[in-house]
Amino acid sequence: MIKAKDVHFYYGDFHALKGVNIEIKEKTVTALIGPSGCGKSTFLRLFNRMNDLIDNTRIEGQCIVDNKDIYSKSIDVDTLRKNVGMVFQKPTPFPKTIYENIAYGLKINGYKDKRKISDIVEKSLKDAALWEEVKDKLQQSAFQLSGGQQQRLCIARALAVSPKVLLMDEPASALDPISTSKIEELIYTLKKEYTIVVVTHNMQQAARISDNTAFFMMGELVEYNDTKKMFLNPEKEITQNYITGRFG
């Protein structure tokens, strides 16, 4: 589903990713771990071309999503981003009603039929496990929700445009433990329909939710393996040291 072939990435002169190769299977959860500044978020943002928004950056190598080289000239970036959804670290709802937050992605992608839109809004909120909490206040501002609810709203918003891939950049790091566990459960159920790549700082979280784990350090992919194997018996000593918290 997702492939990276010898990917290098530069912020100006800074060499942020140094020849990363990876292959991610459909409908799995892959956790990207590693110390701050290791390039895991940069790597994640390659796949919906969010890094394009930063000036003076450059990529080499190939990024493939759904058998298409997403950096080739024939790719329409807006369509790519519709197919590859993203959830950010901080909840980032729009200053609109709860309903409009979800409907936004549909409207900009050409949906006109009001009934269809409201059906998808309901389905997305159900899929994001938020429907029961908000069904009576869809016309209220999204800012009235708690942080955890806002984050699930953002997940629902991403799901509404029916992406194939969901990128999550530390989606629970700004939330309390209860909200975090709700997001984790959610990721687990969403795996049935979506390919999920999640950046996390939290080792336990990576161990709980992911099928595969990729460990990044200094812009290199150090180890990429089955999560169980990685946490019980990593191949490299440095991975072992990081996972057990000897540095961080």
Answer yes or no whether residue 143 interacts with another protein by CB under 8 A: yes
Answer for the pair 212, 224: CB distance below 8 angstroms, yes or no: yes
Quick one: which of 48, 179, 212, 239 contacts another protein (CB under 8 A)?
A: 48
Q: Which is nearer to another protein, 62 or 92 (CB)?
A: 92
* Interaction pattern, residues 161-200, with another protein; x per rule: CB under 8 A: x---------------------------------------
Binding mask 86-125 for another protein (x = CB under 8 A): x-x-xxx-xxxx------xx-xxx----------------
Cβ atoms < 10 Å from Cβ of 14:
10
- Interaction of residue 138 with another protein, rule CB under 8 A: no
Binding site for another protein (CB under 8 A): 48, 50, 53, 55, 78-83, 85-86, 88, 90-92, 94-97, 104-105, 107-109, 141, 143-144, 147, 150, 154, 157-158, 161
